[in-house]
A and B are shown apart, each in its own frame.
Chain A
Amino acid sequence: MYKARHAWMFLAPAGVLLATFSLIPALAALVLSFTNYNVFQPVEWVGLDNFIKAFHDKKFWSALGNTFYYWILVTPALVVLPVFIAILVNQKLMGIKLYRLVYYFPALVSVVVTAILWNWMFASDGIFNYIISLININPINWLTSKEFVMVSLALVTVWQGLGYYMLFYLAGLQSVPTDLYEAAELDGAGIWQKHFFITFPMLRPVIFFITVMSTMSAFKEFTLMLAMTEGGPIGASTTVVYLVFEKAFKQLDMGYASAISFLLFIIILILTLINKKALDRTY
């Protein structure tokens, strides 16, 4: 009843846009990473030079280390904490919807506003230093010391992600059949046993999904660093993508930057596969 001509007409606008801003750029990035393109000079094919350069580049290794550190700080917290929050807001209590909304709201705040809000929290006379002064710890330079900058940024990320991932767990919890709990109750299971033997196994697909999602976003994070610390102090919060951004748009070393972004893509891919293997085995 429809002609093929109609189908292609409806597909055309989206097709052109996806090709221009997704498919072609992906191929172009691959090609660029084998060239020395830097805007000023004519493009030259350099083979694997960019990748070899990355292996000898201290900045790259330090950025990779920072990224892994940030991932280890952020992802376990974002996989585990929202489960408990989801269990908490999955009760039938008055006003529970309002709590859900309040928890979710930080996820909607733009990175620039987030940076401003948290700059005050981390200020030298800010709230965090007040709290630790109550237990007699000396003030910490949250954002300006090498030791604490990643911890501080991770705190912000967890704050922003809690409510977002909570929603996924909540959806998962609500799809657990209630008769499972009732049967367990009849068998005399307590509240923790019920969660351990029913809730957590049933949430397995959600746990995998969130591990993958939060891993990917941790490895790609850089706008938070851009808005809060500009990669500092002395490169301590320069993540891999921040380095890509810096190389590409400040030093215009587009070829090298593309190569780094590809290396990161491969790392993320490997991690995703490991995640899947690990989760398949634990259950």
Chain B
Amino acid sequence: MQINTVSTNKPAIKMRKPLNGVRIVRSIASYFLLTFVAVIMIVPFLWSISTALKGQNEAIFSFPPKFIPANITLENFVTVWNSLPIPLYLWNSTVLAFWGVLLPLLFCSLAAFPLARMNFKGKNIVFLIILSTMMIPGEVTMIPIYLILDKLKLIGSYSGVILPGAVSAFGIFLLRQAFVGIPKDIDESAIIDGASPRQVWWYILIPMVRPMLATLAILSFIGAWNNFLWPLLILQDPKTYPLTVGLYDLKGTFVTNTRLVSAGAIIALLPIMIVFVAFQNFFIKGAYSSAVKG
């Protein structure tokens, strides 16, 4: 790791206490441990990348394992891209993720508004029922949800994949907390000025909870992009498969061609990696706020 070699002697600048031998030894030991753990986390990725870059003539498995291919080649990526409808899978995943982010944002923020800022009969009971759905385990509802989707004639359609996840009690809870934090008189003065509740919601409240919306969007994106079980159960036409299910198929078809399967896995990994790097702070925040519910 580069960071290790570059920065072992630098952190002293940031420390409040004067530099001394114990501190240097401690930070060197820390970097050693940190890097050791990092290597463990990264090795499975490196191994797959290295496998995907190896040509057909080079052995994949050797003792000791070779991480750097003798001849780096992109032919596996080209083969996978050409022999499988990867662009189509990518597009399908994108469509599913788009709805899988947009609908929870819309429905959760709609429902959170009255729960946070209106007084009406039955409000507490409604909120309690919504919270209680968080405790219903997914493995219990899996079968009935499938049967309900079957009754609604949604098996095989994207609606069948999207709708069961289109609203989450957790998301409602998260946004309710955000709405509660906004001063009450804002609504009042807007209503006196002639705004409708819909306008208050859209023009005043929504812009004020943007960070929380971004957090929910990221959490929903990970869920939707990685969704494997529901597309597998619901979708029937291979042309509609998202990347996860397509890759699961690829794993079965090319079971002997390690290089191709690796290349496919790397292609599937890239989008989530890009989103992660671009929005890293929201990811961390999202994980924190999901801790709040516990």
Contacts and interface: CB of A to CB of B under 8 A. Distances in A.
Contacts of A105: 41, 273, 276
A46 to B, nearest CB: 16
Given A2-B197, A163-B41, A88 B34 contact: yes
B294 interface: yes
Interface string A7-29: 11011011101101111111011
Chain B interface, DSSP helix/strand/loop, else mixed: helix
A244 B42 contact: no
Interface in B251-294: 251, 258, 261-262, 264-265, 268-269, 272-273, 276, 280, 283-284, 287-288, 291, 294
A259 to B, nearest CB: 11
6 contacts: A26-B140, A88-B37, A89-B34, A103-B38, A112-B247, A116-B247
A67 to B, nearest CB: 11
A6 B197 contact: yes
Contacts of B117: 2
Interface stretch (B59-67, B68-76, B78-86, B207-215): B59-67
B87 interface: no
Interface string A239-257: 0010011001100001001
B37 A95 contact: no
A91 interface: yes
B3 A10 contact: no
Given A11-B111, A112-B228, A117 B45 contact: yes
> Most chain-A CB neighbours within 10 Å: which of B140, B225, B268?
B140
A265 B143 CA distance: 14
Contact of A116 (B14, B48, B106, B225): B48
B235 to A, nearest CB: 14
Interface stretch (A57-65, A123-131, A142-150, A194-202): A123-131
B238 interface: no
A261 interface: yes
Interface of B: 3, 7, 10-11, 14-15, 27, 30-31, 33-34, 37-38, 40-45, 47-48, 51, 60-65, 106-108, 110-111, 113-115, 117-121, 123, 126, 129-130, 133, 136-148, 163-164, 166-167, 169, 172, 187-188, 191, 197, 201, 222, 225-226, 228-229, 233, 243-245, 247-248, 251, 258, 261-262, 264-265, 268-269, 272-273, 276, 280, 283-284, 287-288, 291, 294
Contacts of A101: 276, 280
Contacts of A26: 136, 140-141, 144
